[in-house]
Amino acid sequence: MNIKLISLTIASFLCQVALAQETCFTNYTAMADSMNAKMLALEKAHGLPDINTVKSHVLEHFQLDADAKSEPLNLPKARRKQLTPAQIYQLCKPSTLSVVMMRKNAKETSGYESKIMATAIALTEDGVCLTNFHVVADLVLSGAMKYSSKVEHQRYIMTADGKTYPISKILYGDPGNDWAVIRVNTLGDKLSPIPLGNTAKEGEPVWCLSMPKGYPYVFTEGIVSRNTANLNKKTGEKTYVMEITADYARGSSGGPIIDQYGNLCGMVSSTLALYGDQAKMINFQMSMKKTVPVFLFSEYLTKKD
Amino acid sequence: MASLPLSAQENKKNAYQEYLNKMKEESKTFYADADSAHYGIKYRWKYRFNKQYGLTYEEDRCVLVAPDVTLDMPYQKIGERNWMRKNPDDGATKQDSNLAYRLTPSFYFYYPKEKHLKKTYRIVDEEFLLGDTIVAPQWKYSETTRIVGDYVCHKAEGTVGGRKWTVWYTTELPFTAGPRTLVGLPGVVIEAKDEAGEIEWTYTGTIKNTPEEKLHILFPRHFSPIPLADFPKIKKVFALSRKSYIDQSGLATRRKTVLPEKLYPYTGIDACVIDNPIER
């Protein structure tokens, strides 16, 4: 009897340990598989507009001028305590969002399919988010010209816990520095915003959390390798780039670059592959990771009268 | 004898030839009722838009000349692609923005008899009518002459659009023409500069109208229904956006047609983002 009880207790304990360890693993495939149906159900339940309707109103809300300022936002306060990488990941994962495109199903005559195309960052609980201009440029450009897509049905974000919300407005775009502020319709739910930090200097550690090639929540570490200011000879405007060594790839666009306190210090923008023979793209040597420094968007987001 | 299968390269070549033929066919229809220019004058247009950083915007433009109408438009042939082809080692990372491969899709139709200037602007394939005004500047003529290119030119001065201009025009070419608002002279403007030294048109050549390369002047048949109030914002976002953004937007291919060969430039991406550089 006692032996039976002890055996049961041990078995139960081992199960709990296994379960606890299993919770460290996320089934991203299941998440990705269900996002399309979730978004369609949400759309139906709330009568949400499709992406063409959103696009047709794009110029009504879209700001472009350097001296434009955001509507007053309830931004979270910057974190002050130095964190471990594991803590940074845990804290910042809920603020990191997948940008998903829902298109007509290519294989079937009806129905839709969704694909993670980029990353976005929650800035406020009520749905103001940050991403790259190039992630939403097609919406702005085709919307401005009143062009409706026959293929794309919805552009939405998915949170780390698998909730989906549609993009409802493009609020601001800086094509030169490649960042845009968007609004998603949270339907009253609250997002987990990341606080804005300060510009990181060369040599300071940074982390990147993003969706390279649609693989959700890949966390990488690096340092700031170079901060550069460039004069755009075409417009006379200055552009700024924070180059880092943390890895990322296509699909990471719009991903947060996080400092050691868990604050946002930049956003993924692009990569530049350097080859021995640049023109022929032979003999790959290194990849420069170009990100948008935080001061560019914090200036817009926190500007006051 | 069975014919050998075509290689992928040959297939590609044939497809491209087919595309060119289709473009020529569409071009014929598109320009069926267009005016034909007798010749064109090619200029390098320079605008010193930022004195603080010493930045100058440069672009190749041309004025096509017909008896009843002239057209100031971008000159496509020295384009970004051509520049890149000639400078392969510099790649995409070392382009000099000062070089004249920028193209602003602005078009100025001038009707000398009526003194009407109609300004249109094309973004991708959407035409905007931006203005229709009477332009008749008063010129003060001088006896001074000089040779510019192959032409004997006469000097004239006048104030247009808030700027004082010195123009050199020739009477050796038929009809009357000039870039933008520098019109109404008894000849063809070959060179022009403003007093502040901010803007100049420099003569770079004469374009001939040949059967192989006809110079069409066609006022757009349709204009965009998009309100003009939105135009400045649209122009700016297109001018600042990269070509890849426009490609992704689907705008370039939304109308299932091959663009006629003369319908260039077909995007506003290299447009000058500096507003109103001529008229102060």
Judged by CB atoms closer than 8 Å, whether chains meet at B245 and A145 is answered as no
Q: Residue A190: what are its φ and ψ, rounded to 5°? A: -115, 130
Q: Which chain B residues contact residue A142 at CB under 8 A?
A: 249-251
Reported ipTM: the value is: 0.88
pLDDT of residue A130: 98
Helices B231-240 and A133-144 cross at an angle (nearest 10°) of 140
Q: B234 to each of A52, A62, A147, A290, B251, how far by Cα in Å?
A: 18, 11, 13, 27, 13
The secondary structure of chain A in percent helix, strand, coil, rounded to multiples of 5, reads 30, 35, 35
For an interface test with B, the pick among A99, A138, A274 (most B C-beta atoms closer than 10 Å) comes out as A138
Q: A146 touching B, CB under 8 A?
A: yes
Judged by CB atoms closer than 8 Å, whether chains meet at A140 and B237 is answered as yes
User: To 5 degrees, how large is the angle CA A68–CA A70–CA A72?
Assistant: 145
pLDDT of residue A20: 64
Query: Who wins on pLDDT, B279 or B19?
Result: B19
Buried b (16+ CB within 10 A) or exposed e, A176-189: bbbbbbbbbbbeee
pLDDT of residue B269: 43
In angstroms, the separation between the Cα of residue B251 and the nearest Cα of chain A is 6
**Burial status of residue B116 (CB atoms within 10 A of its CB: 0-12, 13-18, 19 or more):** middle
Helix/strand/coil (H/E/C) assignment for every residue in A258-305 = ECCCCCEEEEEEEEEEEEEECCCCEEEEEEEEEEEEHHHHHHHHHCCC
pLDDT of residue A18: 64
Judged by CB atoms closer than 8 Å, whether chains meet at B254 and A147 is answered as yes
pLDDT of residue B7: 81
Q: B233 touching A, CB under 8 A?
A: yes
Determine the Cα–Cα distance for residues A24 and A5; give it in Å rounded to an integer: 29
For an interface test with B, the pick among A150, A235, A237, A271 (most B C-beta atoms closer than 10 Å) comes out as A235
Determine the Cα–Cα distance for residues A58 and A178; give it in Å rounded to an integer: 18
A225-231's contacts with Cβ under 8 Å and 24+ in sequence apart are A225/A288, A226/A202, A227/A199, A227/A201, A227/A202, A227/A293, A231/B53, A231/B55
Determine the Cα–Cα distance for residues A291 and A264; give it in Å rounded to an integer: 12
Cα torsion A148, A154, A156, A160: sign:
negative
Question: What residues of chain A score a pLDDT lower than 50?
Answer: none
Nearest CA in chain A to B85: A279
Q: Which chain B residues contact residue A138 at CB under 8 A?
A: 245, 248-250
Would you say residue B133 has pLDDT above 50?
Answer: yes
Judged by CB atoms closer than 8 Å, whether chains meet at A175 and B245 is answered as yes
DSSP assignment of B223-234 equals: ---S-GGGHHHH
Would you say residue B261 has pLDDT above 90?
Answer: no
For an interface test with B, the pick among A55, A134, A141 (most B C-beta atoms closer than 10 Å) comes out as A141
pLDDT of residue A19: 61
Judged by CB atoms closer than 8 Å, whether chains meet at B234 and A146 is answered as no
Q: Tokens 């200036």 label which residue? A: A299
pLDDT of residue B87: 56
Judged by CB atoms closer than 8 Å, whether chains meet at A144 and B250 is answered as no
Judged by CB atoms closer than 8 Å, whether chains meet at A145 and B248 is answered as no
CA-CA-CA-CA dihedral for B211, B213, B218, B221, to nearest 10: 100
pLDDT of residue B79: 43
Say whether pTM exceeds 0.90. no
Q: B93 touching A, CB under 8 A?
A: yes
Q: A173 to each of A143, B86, B124, B125, how far by Cα in Å?
A: 14, 34, 20, 23
pLDDT of residue B2: 55
User: To 5 degrees, how large is the angle CA B245–CA A71–CA B230?
Assistant: 45
Judged by CB atoms closer than 8 Å, whether chains meet at B230 and A278 is answered as no
Q: B245 touching A, CB under 8 A?
A: yes
Q: What is the largest CA-CA distance in chain A?
A: 85
In angstroms, the separation between the Cα of residue B150 and the nearest Cα of chain A is 33
Would you say residue B118 has pLDDT above 50?
Answer: yes
Which segments within chain A are labelled E, that is strand?
A: 96-104, 112-122, 128-131, 152-158, 164-174, 179-184, 205-210, 218-231, 238-244, 256-258, 264-277, 282-293
Three-state SS for A161? coil
- Tell me the per-residue pLDDT of A154-171, one tens digit each, with 9 for 90 and over: 999 999 999 999 999 999
Residue B41, H or E segment:
strand B39-50
pLDDT of residue B17: 85
Count of alpha carbons within 13 angstroms of residue A163, beta-carbon side = 16
Among A145-154, B179-188, B212-221, name the one with the lowest average pLDDT.
B212-221
Query: Who wins on pLDDT, B75 or B129?
Result: B129
Residue B129, H or E segment:
strand B126-134
In angstroms, the separation between the Cα of residue A290 and the nearest Cα of chain B is 14
pLDDT of residue B240: 83
pLDDT of residue B10: 85
In angstroms, the separation between the Cα of residue A84 and the nearest Cα of chain B is 38
